[in-house]
Structure 1
Amino acid sequence: MGKKVLVVGAGMAGLSSAIRLQHAGYEVEIYEQGSKPGGKMHQIKAEGFTFDVGPTLVMMPSIYREVFTLAGRNPDDYIPMKRLDPMYEVYFKDEPYRHYEVSSDLTKLMEMVEKKGPENARGFLQYLSEIYTRYQVALDHFITRPFRNKKDIYNPFMMQQALKLKTFDSADHMMASFMPDKDLQQMLSFQTLYIGVSPQKGPSLYNIIPMIELLYGVWFIEGGMHTMAQGMARLFEELGGKIHYNHQVDEILIAGGKALGLSVKGKAVTSDYVISNADFPYTMTHLIKEDSARGKYTKEKIDSMDYSCSCLVFYWGMDKTYEKLAPHTFIISKDLDDNLTRIFDGRLIEDPSIYLHVPSQVDPSMAPAGKSSFYTLIPVSDLGTGTYEWSEETISHYREKAFETLSRIPGLENIQEEVVLERIFTPKDFERSFSAYRGATFGLQPTLRQSNHWRPQAKSMEVEGLYFTGSSTHPGAGVPIVLQSGKICAEELRRDEPGDEFK
């Protein structure tokens, strides 16, 4: 029997680490506070309607499939998926709304871009070439590796690679430098919100996100994103791992500078190693009790860090189907700059941008016959930044804005009357259900000073045998990146285990 590893949380990163370690011969058990795997990749079922709670877009499908092929399994047996084309539709609020279909088919894509004129078309291709070059540097030297020590980043070779990333420009400013058309700029920079950072302040490197969509497509997993969580949990258990659901971890047990196990419901569970997939700020403030074990991440330090935005999500069961509606639709605020500023300085938003996901357009089983499932998301402030309470009045304000905005889309003119079921997730729900610190859906913001070496790492430098993974750790948020975080965490643990052949 191999060394014992206890994992706090069956989120995607925790499952990613657990599968890799179980497959490598370790004895791994996961303690999960909820009743299902996946963390924010949760699912709501009500009256025949199915809604994914958190992530909805599949990008970089090869990373989703990797963990299954690693274990010698066929990914299609766990996560059957299909490519979407168009990937999504975009509306800009105006009189009338301006509408675009965004395809990853180069011919269709260039047809849309060339309508903006040759200057924009040339700029678009130059953007793809430039950001692809940066993406390769990031993939080879930053995203896939840890930064244990200062020397891992502060050396001539890595400094040279860092300069190639050209991170000192913002995402929206970079787009403006390539394309004068405002619609194209915003259509190719709002995606930084996928990881909870504003394109006004997020480093231009994050313009790799729309590039990844355009070059590798947007995909859909049958049954919704939670199918991925279920598939990973199933694989982990097939390999001999154990998941203890409805088990809240009270504390990571530490003595003499070493992790000894977990306290769960007042009972000590011992192990050789501990991995926390709980949100890193939550781990530091709630699960680690010794000040010395936190190192530089004191309560004051945690509270002073920059947090991602949060989300308000309305899950609506609709009393009809919508033939012409896309599975993914983005409606951009008339004044996106003001919209973004309000999100990140904590004010109530008067003209929010909205994301509508209709999974039943791709998988009819996610709604009763003749009906549809709507996932309506509004990016909002995290609880530490927001200057308003999440009262019924606040929720009503945003519900009215959502109905007003969506009713302008062809086919949704009577949307308010067609809602027959509603469930809601506010920032408080993300905090309560998933221990997301300050309700920040995507964890710590991936700003320059909170990225790479300057972001929390997988290995604790204060406590032997303690490791971290998840969206607030390196390399960051977003499902493919979180899966990579789990991989890095497992590799770091194996690197420290005497006799493990992995080095």
Structure 2
Amino acid sequence: MSKKVIVIGSGVAGLASAIRLQAAGYQAEIYEKGSMPGGKMNRIELEGGYKFDLGPSIVMLPEIYREVFELCGRDPDDYIPMEKLDPIYRAYFSDIPHRPFDISSDMTRLTRTIESISEEDTAGFFRYMHEIYQKFIIAKRYILPRPFRKRGDFYNLPMLKKAVKLKPYDTADRFVGRYIKNKRLRQMISFQTLYIGISPLTSPSFYTMIPMLQFLYGVWFIKGGMYTMALSMERLFKELGGTIHYGRNVQEISIQNGKAEGIVVDGQKIASDYVVCNADFPYAIKHLVQDKPAKGKYTDEKVDSLKYSCSCFLLYLGMDRKYEEIDHVHNFIFNENLDRNLKDIFDGKKLTNASFYVYIASKMDSSLAPEGKDGLYVLMPVSNAAESNYEWDEETVSYYRAYILNELKKIRGFENIENEIVAETHTTPLDFRSKFNAHNGAAFGLQPILKQSNHYRPQSKASHCENLYFTGSSTHPGAGVPIVLLSAKIAAQELIQDDTGELFDYSVK
């Protein structure tokens, strides 16, 4: 009889690890406290037929999405039909709102746009691309896809030689500034570390590979929006014979004699051979792992002392018209004082200079809004709930809402935006905390500073408990949908290795 694995949480990594284990011959069962799959990759529906992705919205590295289906012998196009976007996004600057820049992954078009912003910096831009591409290849081969179970997995000569080439002590802002002097161009590249919840002023430089991945490999759109990925993984898991229990809130991971033996739900113990935990690691180790020795170094005090990512304030607006003047799915509105904006986010201040992002999925898929209408998803990076020195009350929501609408009014097409809203809702850091058990309401989990990256980050295999594995954005390799999908792959491989003795080759050549 096949061994039973309980997966806690149906977020992206929970679904992907359950699929991998089910496909490998285990009997996987997911326990999810909510009523829908996907975790933060979820959907919000408003009256009138407006549908929004709740959180993630930008598809990068589509081959990692597709791999989950391919390993089960399925054609990904039957599950997650994708279309490449070009331009990948439009960038607006608040001091010149009528002169946006279209950013393409077509090298000829991209070069022309870079030249139009700063001809003097164009050669520097390609030097940045050359440098960061080399770092990406090292990370892709030797760091992102492998676990670091023990010190020797990182602290060995071949690995250290590779790691040194990443120049880990450089910040994203300094690294980009070495090649590019123009402020707008620098902002457009370095801000993208916010995709994983860290400021470019403090982020290790290798995370500037995020824009490079967009420029070189493009950005994609999944029909139906990002939530299609969650629904399709749920469908695949069930086709493979897996079971999902919705509305089942796990209270505890059952641990006896240093070994996970199942979970406790509604006061009842449910036994399993292995447990894979996709609940946010800081929440899980603090609340679900109640056996003190099994926590290892992650005591409650240690968890509280770690650094957490920023959070997000999101507005979902159902509009009574189509925005023909806005051509793009992804739109970034940069405040000219971005450095102040970034500092305030991570200092916990209420933002007076704020950059934000507008996602109009109905541009690519008209089924996501009523006929002849658009839905606007607006995301503003803000402090997490523990760091903000202001309350997340109705007054704060109204303040940020007014700020966003006032800034949008300056952009051609949005001049009358306030009077065109017919349905709306929002998500705050408090929602991330209550709905998704995100510690401190940090939308991206642990901040990926150097001391919380790679071998310093919580690993998949529990260090002080057998048969227990963790996955998701607070574990290695980190946040962002493709990276979280890699964490699921690591979790499945670690479990299979412990169960069968099958060794995976992570050697550094």
The TM-score range, normalised by the shorter chain, is: over 0.9
Equivalent in the alignment of 2:365 = 363
Equivalent in the alignment of 2:420 = 418
Matched letter for residue 352 of structure 1: A
Distance in 2 between the 1:396 and 1:140 partners?
Answer: 46
Equivalent in the alignment of 2:454 = 452
1:89-488 maps to which residues of 2 (within 5 A)? 89-325=90-326, 326-488=328-490
Secondary structure (helix, strand or coil) at the match of 2:491 reads helix
Matched letter for residue 26 of structure 2: Y
- Is the contact between residue 16 and residue 486 of structure 1 (CA under 8 Å) also seen in structure 2? yes
Secondary structure (helix, strand or coil) at the match of 1:412 reads coil
Equivalent in the alignment of 2:46 = 46
Distance in 2 between the 1:118 and 1:416 partners?
Answer: 38
1:388-414 residue CA offsets vs partner (Å, 9 max, x unmatched): 100111111100100011111110000
Matched letter for residue 272 of structure 2: S
- Is the contact between residue 88 and residue 330 of structure 1 (CA under 8 Å) also seen in structure 2? yes
Matched letter for residue 67 of structure 1: V
Secondary structure (helix, strand or coil) at the match of 1:189 reads helix
1:190-228 residue CA offsets vs partner (Å, 9 max, x unmatched): 110000000110011001000000111111111111100
Shift of 1:158: 1.1
- Is the contact between residue 443 and residue 472 of structure 1 (CA under 8 Å) also seen in structure 2? yes
2:6 aligned with 1:31: no
1:60-112 residue CA offsets vs partner (Å, 9 max, x unmatched): 00000001000000001100110111100011111555421100011110011
Query: Do the aligned partners of residues 100 and 208 (structure 1) sit closer, same or farther apart at CA in structure 2, a change above 3 Å counting?
Result: same
Distance in 1 between the 2:504 and 2:246 partners?
Answer: 30
Shift of 1:291: 1.3
Shift of 1:499: 5.8
Distance in 1 between the 2:402 and 2:183 partners?
Answer: 27
Distance in 1 between the 2:429 and 2:107 partners?
Answer: 38
- Is the contact between residue 494 and residue 502 of structure 1 (CA under 8 Å) also seen in structure 2? no
- Is the contact between residue 315 and residue 425 of structure 2 (CA under 8 Å) also seen in structure 1? yes
Matched letter for residue 393 of structure 1: E
Matched letter for residue 15 of structure 1: L
Secondary structure (helix, strand or coil) at the match of 1:180 reads coil
2:70 aligned with 1:69: yes
Residues matched between the structures, number: 503
Query: Do the aligned partners of residues 66 and 91 (structure 1) sit closer, same or farther apart at CA in structure 2, a change above 3 Å counting?
Result: same
Secondary structure (helix, strand or coil) at the match of 1:482 reads helix
- Is the contact between residue 198 and residue 309 of structure 2 (CA under 8 Å) also seen in structure 1? yes
Matched letter for residue 387 of structure 1: N
Shift of 1:334: 1.9
Shift of 1:501: 7.9
Distance in 1 between the 2:312 and 2:116 partners?
Answer: 34
Query: Do the aligned partners of residues 96 and 452 (structure 1) sit closer, same or farther apart at CA in structure 2, a change above 3 Å counting?
Result: closer
Structure 1 unpaired stretches of 5+: none
Distance in 2 between the 1:15 and 1:444 partners?
Answer: 21
Shift of 1:116: 4.0
Structural RMSD (CA)? 1.1
- Is the contact between residue 38 and residue 226 of structure 1 (CA under 8 Å) also seen in structure 2? yes
Matched letter for residue 408 of structure 1: K
Shift of 1:500: 5.4
Matched letter for residue 406 of structure 1: L
1:287-326 residue CA offsets vs partner (Å, 9 max, x unmatched): 0111111010011100110100000000000000011311
- Is the contact between residue 36 and residue 245 of structure 1 (CA under 8 Å) also seen in structure 2? yes
Distance in 2 between the 1:415 and 1:455 partners?
Answer: 43
Secondary structure (helix, strand or coil) at the match of 1:251 reads strand
Matched letter for residue 41 of structure 2: M
Distance in 1 between the 2:97 and 2:222 partners?
Answer: 34
1:34-70 residue CA offsets vs partner (Å, 9 max, x unmatched): 1111100010112200011000000000000001000
- Is the contact between residue 351 and residue 401 of structure 1 (CA under 8 Å) also seen in structure 2? no
Secondary structure (helix, strand or coil) at the match of 1:169 reads coil
Shift of 1:6: 0.3
Equivalent in the alignment of 2:12 = 12
Q: TM-score, normalised by structure 1?
A: 0.99
Q: TM-score, normalised by structure 2?
A: 0.97
1:218-268 residue CA offsets vs partner (Å, 9 max, x unmatched): 111111111000000110110011000111001000010000100011111
Structure 2 unpaired stretches of 5+: none
Task: Report % sequence identity.
Answer: 54
